[in-house]
Amino acid sequence: MKKQEISVSILDCNFNDIENEIAKINNSSCDYIHVDVMDGKFVPNIAFDDKTINKVNLYSTKKIDYHLMVKNPKDYITKCAKNNAEIISVHYEENDNVYNDLISIKSLGCKAGLAINPSTKISEVSKLFKYIDILLLMSVQPGKGGQKFLNSTFKKIINTKKLIQEMNYKIKIEIDGGIDNKVSKKLFDLGSNILVSGSYIIKNKNLDSAIISLRD
């Protein structure tokens, strides 16, 4: 049975107590800590300056999964790689250098992720499949936590899975946005490999029972 991986988004954490927040995640059965880097240009919000990225890396014993929602990923890729990145995902949208970004991520020894918004078609990005390890499908509009999951994601996963198999690539499918235990089983059943969940896990009194409920 393939591993059902969970990446905990820390957008809803209390950053005044980040060491304890990360410790709770370290003590859970999740696979990754998901760090959303936002520059206020690609999306309206700003999240995770250098100091926070350094702190997360300092305290984390989990693999780190960086999601760059920024106008110029190049400025952040090296920084994330230095801070123990397992995965670095860059957006396809508004990015003329997406190919170079993916090559750069790989050259730094990290797994290259390509993130796409709900409105972006899979057929538009399939030409980049040979350069990626992860395809990150947004299941909400990127930029803020706590949004409602978009059901159109289910069909997108089916089409994505089919295309990856036809093209004979080994690409993991990661889903990000609005994920709770009402949709997680179906997402895994359809072929997703990694689910990103933030508020559903962080706002639960028992992090691990929330994580287990996503896998069951």
CA distances from 174 to 27, 32, 71 (A): 23, 12, 21
36 classed as catalytic: yes
With b for 16 or more beta-carbon neighbours within 10 A and e for fewer, the 52-80 pattern comes to: bbebbbebbebbbbbbbbbeebeebbebb
Catalytic-labelled residue, pool 31, 36, 39, 133:
36
Please, what is the end-to-end C-alpha distance for the chain in angstroms? 13
176 classed as catalytic: yes
- CA angle, 197 then 72 then 41, to 5°: 70
Catalytic-labelled residue, pool 31, 65, 133, 176:
176
Which residues form the catalytic set?
A: 36, 176
